[in-house]
């Protein structure tokens, strides 16, 4: 039987906290309870929860396009608030995984694909930020590797006005199922 995993994408202090280096601010903060509840449900059902997090060096090429964010070892690179608390409480338990990522797509330059395949995961549920960047490109990464994708509209946010447009694009281009 095909298994499912929850991907929690880039829910760091830099992307969520008001003082973050590249924050989505209040929209990102508002999705935290939804993601935490979903993580609780997945975990209690014995499903995998993967935290996929930007992890940049101090002089990363991304900083030519974006303000510095998620620099390894900094406050900004830590999981935000209640999600950080959830991870700390469960990180030693089976099915809770942290994957640092160097690119927008959580599959590029990481072992995410190998981890999911070793666990016989066939469906990934997408949550986190930003809908129109890392969420969208991770949906593509999953789709292009043969995974079924499910986007949680209430579990995604961005700092632009493009949230709904990119949710629709995921559905149209990657055959992503949308959950409200």
Q: Give the pLDDT score at 2.
A: 80
What's the first-to-final CA gap in the chain, in angstroms? 25
DSSP-H helix ranges across the chain: 13-16, 26-30, 32-44, 81-90, 112-118, 136-144, 163-174
User: What's the mean pLDDT in 77-91?
Assistant: 97
pTM of the entire structure?
0.97
Please give the pLDDT value at position 39. 98
pLDDT the model gives residue 180? 86
Alpha carbon distance 19, 15 (integer Å): 9
On the question of pLDDT at 163 being above 60, the answer is yes
Pull the structure tokens for residue 47.
């499903």
Q: Mean pLDDT in the chain? A: 96
Q: Does residue 1 register a pLDDT over 60?
A: no
Count how many residues are written for the chain: 180
Share of the chain above pLDDT 70, in %: 99
Q: Which domain holds residue 64?
A: 3-179
Q: With DSSP H G I counted as helix, E B as strand and the rest as coil, what are the percentages for the chain, rounded to 5? A: 40, 25, 35
Q: What is the mean pLDDT of residues 105-130?
A: 98
Mean pLDDT of 18-32: 97
CA angle 83, 173, 158 (to 5 degrees): 35
Residue 61 CA to residue 48 CA, distance in Å, equals 31
Q: Give the number of domains in the chain.
A: 1
Q: Which residues contact 22 (CB under 8 A, 6 or more apart)?
A: 14, 15, 66, 67, 69, 159
- Name the nearest CA neighbour of 33 among 77, 89, 85: 85
The domain that holds 117 is classified in CATH as 3.40.50.850
């Amino acid at each position: 039987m095909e298994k499912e995993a929850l991907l929690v994408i880039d829910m760091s202090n830099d992307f969520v906290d008001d003082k973050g280096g590249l924050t989505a601010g209040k929209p990102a903060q508002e999705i935290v309870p939804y993601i935490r509840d979903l993580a609780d449900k997945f975990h209690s059902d014995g499903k995998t929860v993967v935290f996929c997090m930007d992890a940049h060096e101090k002089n990363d090429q991304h900083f030519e396009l974006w303000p510095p964010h998620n620099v390894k070892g900094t406050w900004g690179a830590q999981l935000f608030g209640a999600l950080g608390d959830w991870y700390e409480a469960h990180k030693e338990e089976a099915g809770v995984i942290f994957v640092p990522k160097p690119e927008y797509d959580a599959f590029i330059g990481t072992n995410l694909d190998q981890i999911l395949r070793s666990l016989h995961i066939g469906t990934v549920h997408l949550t986190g930020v930003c809908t129109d960047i890392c969420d969208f490109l991770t949906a593509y990464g999953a789709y292009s590797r043969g995974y079924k994708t499910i986007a949680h509209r209430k579990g995604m946010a961005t700092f632009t006005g493009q949230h709904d447009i990119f949710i629709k694009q995921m559905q149209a281009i990657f055959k992503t199922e949308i959950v409200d």
